Amino acid sequence: MFEGALTAMITPFRDGKLDEQRLCEQIERQIKGGIDGLVPVGTTGESPTLDFEEHERVIELSVKTAAGRVPVIAGVGANATSEALQLHEFAKKAGANGGLSVNPYYNKPSQEGLYRHFMTLADRVDLPIVLYNIPGRTGITMSAQTVARLAKHPNIVAIKEATGSMDITSEIATLCDITILSGDDSLTLPLMSIGAKGVISVLSNLIPTQIKQLVKLAAEGRYADAGKLHRKLFPLMRAMFLDGNPPGIKFAMQHAKLDSGEMRLPIWEATEGTKSQIAELMKGLDISK
C-alpha cells in the first residue's frame, strides 16, 4: 500500500507558532518534486513538542493540501495507548491514508505489551498502520517475531525500520511479507537490496526528486546506478544527523533559501561546525531537484 520515496516532513515554526502557510508551500514543493507520499508530525516533525491541537492541525492541513495527489501517513504514535488511540481516530476522521505509529517510548513495554498496544489500535480504528521501530528514540526494539505477529492484522500494513540493523530487517522479511520502509536515508539502498520497498526520508525535504530517483533505481534493480547516486548523497545523509534531527535538515533548508523557521526547545540549532560541513556538502547540489 505504501511504497517508494516518502518524506518525513519538517514542521515549520515562526515566532513560536505553527507556520501554516510555509507548511502548505512545503507540501506543494514535495508533490512537484515527485515524492510518493507525505509523513507529517513524525520525529522529524518535532511531534513531541506539539500540543494535541497543533498536532491535529498539521494532519488536517497536510491532508487538505495534498488533496489526494499523494498519500498522507500521519504521525499518530504516543507512549500511552489511550493518547495514541485519540490520534489514530483523528487521523482517520481527517482523511489520512494511514498512520505512522511509533513504539511507545520511555516506559519500555515488553514484547507482549507492544503487541497488545498495536493490536488495540488496529482493532479500534480502521486505519492502515505503519509500525515505527526506532530504539534510539524509544528505548525499546520491537522484535521481528512481534512484527510478524502484528502483520497478520489487515490494518497493519508496513513498518518503518530505523533500528540500523540489516539482520533485523532480514529477519522481518523472512518471517512475514509486511512492507518494509527504511527509516534511515543512508540505509535506503542496502535495505532495498534485501527487500525493503522504499524510505521515509529526512533528506527528501531538501531534494525530493533525487531521493525519488534513488528509490526508483533500486526498485528497478539498477543497483550500479543507484549505488552511484547513493555514494554521492551519502556524506550529506550522514551529516543531517550530526546534531540530532531535525537541526541538520532545518539548517540545510535555511541555507537553500527554503527556510522552515526555528525549532522548539529542547531541540536546538546545529553547531557552527555542523552547519559549515552541511553547507560544504551542499555545494554543487541541485536543490531545485
- DSSP class per residue in 232-280: HHHHHHHHTTBTBTTHHHHHHHHHTT---BB--TT--PPPHHHHHHHHH
Mean pLDDT of 241-250: 96
- In this prediction, residues 69-91 reach a mean pLDDT of 97
| Mean pLDDT of all residues in 251-275 | 94
pLDDT at 286 over 90: no
Give start and end residues of each alpha helix (H) in 67-194: 81-94, 111-124, 135-138, 144-150, 166-175, 188-192
In a domain, 172, yes or no: yes
* Mean pLDDT value across residues 251-259: 94
Residues 38, 73: Cα–Cα separation, whole Å = 6
198 SS3 class: strand
Residue 26 has pLDDT above 70, yes or no: yes
Among residues 160, 197, 212, 275, the one annotated as catalytic is 160
Q: Which residues of 28-53 are buried (b: 16+ CB within 10 A; e: fewer)?
A: eebbebbbbbbbbbbbbbbbbebeee
In a domain, 152, yes or no: yes
| For the chain, percent of residues with pLDDT exceeding 90 | 97
Among 155, 180, 160, residue whose Cα is nearest residue 43: 160
Question: How many folded domains does the chain comprise?
Answer: 1
**Catalytic residue at 160?**
yes
Strand, helix or coil at 182?
strand
pLDDT at 86 over 80: yes
Residues linked to residue 98 through DSSP beta bridges, in sequence order:
73
Confidence band (pLDDT; 50, 70, 90) for 274?
A: very high
Of these residues, 115, 132, 250, 275, which one is catalytic?
Answer: 132
The Cα 96–Cα 275 span in angstroms is 35
Residue 279 lies in a domain: no
Q: Indicate whether 273 belongs to any domain.
A: no
Q: Is the pLDDT at 289 greater than 60, yes or no?
A: no
User: Rounded to whole angstroms, how far apart are CA atoms 157 and 237?
Assistant: 27
Average pLDDT over residues 150-174: 97
pLDDT for 194: 95
| Rounded-to-integer distance, Cα 93 and Cα 52, Å | 15
Average pLDDT over residues 55-81: 97
Cα(37)–Cα(100) distance, rounded to whole angstroms? 12
Q: What was the pLDDT predicted at 126?
A: 97
Structural domain includes residue 231:
no
Alpha-carbon gap, residue 142 to 247, rounded angstroms: 27
115-121 mean pLDDT: 98
Where residue 134 sits, what CATH number does that domain have? 3.20.20.70
**191-213: per-residue pLDDT in tens?**
999 999 999 999 999 999 999 99
d(CA 193, CA 197): 9
Which pLDDT value is given to residue 285? 84
pTM: 0.96
Give me the mean pLDDT over the 122-133 stretch: 98
Residue 83 located in a structural domain: yes
Classify residue 181: in a domain, yes or no. yes
Active-site residue flag, 106: no
Residue 241 belongs to a domain: no
Q: Residue 166 belongs to what domain range?
A: 4-223
pLDDT at res. 284: 79
Across the range 141-147, mean pLDDT stands at 97
Q: Give the pLDDT of residue 259.
A: 84
pLDDT over 70 at 281, yes or no: yes
